Amino acid sequence: MKRTLLIDISNSFTKAAIATGPRIGRIHRMPTPELSPATLRALDGKTKLDSVFLSSVVPAKNSAVLTAFPHAVLIGPHLDLGVGIDYPNPASIGGDRLANAAACAVLYGAPAIVVDFGTAVTFDVLSAEGSYIGGVIAPGLNAMTNYLHEKTALLPLVKLKEPKSAVGRSTIDAMLAGAVHGYRGLIREILSQITAEAFRKKKPVVVATGGDAKLIAGKLAIFDTVDPLLTLRGLLIIADKNTHASF
């Protein structure tokens, strides 16, 4: 059965997994600054890989993958994605966003909005015809809380979790309430604006993925599903459509 190494390089963390046929195996998560050819080669074990597919928003780290796996395929609009692209500059779309769109179209249908909660939170929009038409980029939740800690003298660095109440009874509780409830407000408003502008005739499927998806989207009824593996699933879907680009 075909073995495909899937790698998703984001700003903070890199996720990698080997898919055997349609099944995605154990997820390896490592800080992106620590990514190296050696750490990547350790993932493949002793069994030959049939292909390696990569999405990346950190171009400086792409060479580490290509050193370890010279025939790795970088996700881009030149591949068969299974979705159309109705966007002025397709080459500027991040590979992770294309992978999310590809997975959403196959697994959840269109029209759709994918919200990826990472270092930045991205909203990617699929039209009713199944084409990628654009999106929104906003600061990620950790970026907001880290900024407060770095730019103030007294506010600590908080570990994100569900706040006890909307009215904080300590500095940490107040920061958690502001971060989590405030962030849900940001997400809700952006989704409302996208839906009103782009989907007047048919309600879109709304899918969440990324590190903070469970915390934020899990309490928002507007989301239809939370899929932590959406990007890797999209990479595998694209890999299957582009066997000519594999080893």
pLDDT tens digits, one per residue of 51-95: 999 999 999 999 999 999 999 999 999 999 999 999 999 999 999
| Residue 89 CB neighbours (<10 A) | 8
Residue 213 lies in a domain: no
For the domain that residue 58 is a member of, what is the CATH number? 3.30.420.40
| Model pLDDT, residue 245 | 45
The reply to whether 96 belongs to the active site is yes
Residue 171 lies in a domain: no
Residue 194 lies in a domain: no
Q: Per-residue pLDDT averaged across 3-25, rounded?
A: 94
pLDDT digits (tens, 9 = 90+) for 2-11: 999 999 999 9
**What single string gives the DSSP state of each residue in 129-189?**
TSEEEEEEEEE-HHHHHHHHHHH-SSPPPPPP---S-SS-SSHHHHHHHHHHHHHHHHHHH
Provide the domain limits for residue 26: 3-76+234-245
Q: Per-residue pLDDT averaged across 137-155, rounded?
A: 90
| Model pLDDT, residue 246 | 43
* pLDDT more than 90, % of the chain: 83
Residue 53 lies in a domain: yes
Pick the catalytic residue: 8, 44, 96, 224? 96
Query: Is the pLDDT assigned to residue 243 strictly greater than 90?
Result: no
pLDDT digits (tens, 9 = 90+) for 210-222: 999 999 998 999 9
Residue 134 lies in a domain: no
pLDDT band at residue 195, thresholds of 50, 70 and 90? very high
Number of folded domains that form the chain: 1
Residue 48 lies in a domain: yes
Q: Per-residue pLDDT averaged across 23-41, rounded?
A: 94
